[in-house]
Amino acid sequence: MPLDVSPYAGTGDAATAILSRWNSLTAPALRAAVETLHPWPARMAAYAFGWADRDGRPSGRGMAAGGKGLRPALVLLCAGAAGAPAESALAGAVAVELVHAFSLVHDDIMDGDERRRHRASVWHAFGVGPAVLTGDALLALAMATLARVPRPGAAVAMERLSATLIELVHGQAEDLAFEDRPWAGRDAVTVEEYVAMAEAKTGALLGCAAALGCLLGGGSPERADRIAVMGRQLGLAFQMTDDLLGIWGDPSVTGKLASSDLRRGKKTLPVLAALEAGTPAARRLGELLTAPLTAEGDLELVRDLIEDAGGRQRTRERATACLRRALDVLDAEGASGPAAEDLAVLSRFLVERAS
């Protein structure tokens, strides 16, 4: 389902090559960090990253099998764009990927998601209590990794990371609270409320990744602030694309149940944008959403109505606008060279991916 953002077509292979290259730098450091944990949470963390199966046997899957490794690549590339060797930001790359893994493990508990990346989620595989512990271990390890960075970088970086965690909690709280709010009427979730939630829940950590790369690469706090805006916009574009994939994505590629977001009444941008259209399709959609969606036929009708009311198109447009704002920041910073080019390729990939 590539979006129409020509001339950006065909970046999938290039992006995969970039991610794979940077992940070969991050993965050993990440594994070494995880191995310092108590063996039990370490084993569950290895499962969460896709390195091992439930019994601790190596899965033969690389880091990319566990996740895209987008955030650590962003850290390293932003160090490169600041003119530093990527290695200088390695602790930041490891810390950001650990925080990402922490948030997935805990969010899956809160959301009751049984599947993650084609496998049972951590709580579903090991139980809720052990999954809580695994998330705590990943977060503690992220902090410890960053706290050991040579000063004064560590203090600035820790301040960034902790502010990001506050935002992550805020975004997750909003996301969960949205589930209890109605689709229509005065208490309905607005598109703008959604965007604020997505910026906290997804944008903040990509912004943090970009800022940490810049800071650990020797960039000034002011430059880090600007480059963080790029990361935040990329995070928004990423989340909006996720929402599209959650409704129209191929379950065999995304690893999630088809239309799982619709099934449990999750407030995502395509639906909210459709509802705000005020067209007959939007009104019919609003009526259908008042009852839980269970029948396959209902799900299909809802998908069609979202599309008819323009929800799919408007979400694509917003994702593309976020992507352009991100690329504008990169331009304005005068970033050039291989790192900046890779950043541009990765950025485009975020809205073109199929999983």
Q: Binding to a second copy by residue 144, rule CB under 8 A? A: yes
CB of 190 to a second copy, least distance (A): 18
Identity of the residue, 8 or 178, whose beta carbon is nearer to a second copy in the bound complex: 178
Q: Residue from 5, 29, 64, 163 that binds a second copy (CB under 8 A)?
A: 163
Q: Binding to a second copy by residue 239, rule CB under 8 A? A: no
Q: Binding to a second copy by residue 93, rule CB under 8 A? A: no
Q: Residue from 25, 29, 120, 154 that binds a second copy (CB under 8 A)?
A: 154
Q: Which among 71-79, 162-170, 184-192, 323-331 is the span making contact with a second copy, rule CB under 8 A?
A: 162-170
- Of the candidates 191, 157, 159, 9, the residue with the CA atom closest to the CA atom of residue 79: 157
CA 245 to chain centre: 13
Q: Binding to a second copy by residue 92, rule CB under 8 A? A: no
Identity of the residue, 161 or 224, whose beta carbon is nearer to a second copy in the bound complex: 161
Q: Collect all residues with Cβ–Cβ distance below 8 Å to 180 and sequence separation of at least 6.
A: none
- Cross-strand bridge partners of residue 52: 58
Rounded Cα–Cα distance for residues 139 and 63 (Å): 18
Q: Residue from 10, 112, 221, 337 that binds a second copy (CB under 8 A)?
A: 112
Q: Collect all residues with Cβ–Cβ distance below 8 Å to 149 and sequence separation of at least 6.
A: 91, 92, 157, 216
Residues that contact a second copy, how many (by CB under 8 A) = 45
Identity of the residue, 97 or 352, whose beta carbon is nearer to a second copy in the bound complex: 97
Q: Residue from 110, 253, 332, 354 that binds a second copy (CB under 8 A)?
A: 110
Q: Collect all residues with Cβ–Cβ distance below 8 Å to 218 and sequence separation of at least 6.
A: 82, 83, 84, 88
CB of 38 to a second copy, least distance (A): 4
3-state secondary structure 268-335: CHHHHHHHCCCCHHHHHHHHHCCCCCCCHHHHHHHHHHHHHCCHHHHHHHHHHHHHHHHHHHHHHCCC
- Please give the residues from 120 up to 139 whose contact with a second copy meets the rule CB under 8 A: 128-130, 132-133, 135-137, 139
Binding mask 16-55 for a second copy (x = CB under 8 A): --------------------xxx-xx--------------
Residue 7 in tokens: 């001339």
Q: Binding to a second copy by residue 181, rule CB under 8 A? A: no
Residue 148 in tokens: 């050991």
Q: Binding to a second copy by residue 186, rule CB under 8 A? A: no
Rounded Cα–Cα distance for residues 5 and 24 (Å): 29
Q: Residue from 68, 71, 100, 106 that binds a second copy (CB under 8 A)?
A: 106
Residue 61 exposure: Cα atoms within 13 Å on the Cβ side:
20
Q: How far is CA 228 from CA 100, 115, 221, 322, 340, in A?
A: 17, 31, 10, 13, 15
CB of 131 to a second copy, least distance (A): 9
Q: Which residues bind a second copy (CB under 8 A)?
A: 36-38, 40-41, 106, 109-112, 128-130, 132-133, 135-137, 139-141, 143-144, 146-148, 151-152, 154-155, 158-159, 161-163, 165-166, 168-170, 172-174, 176-177
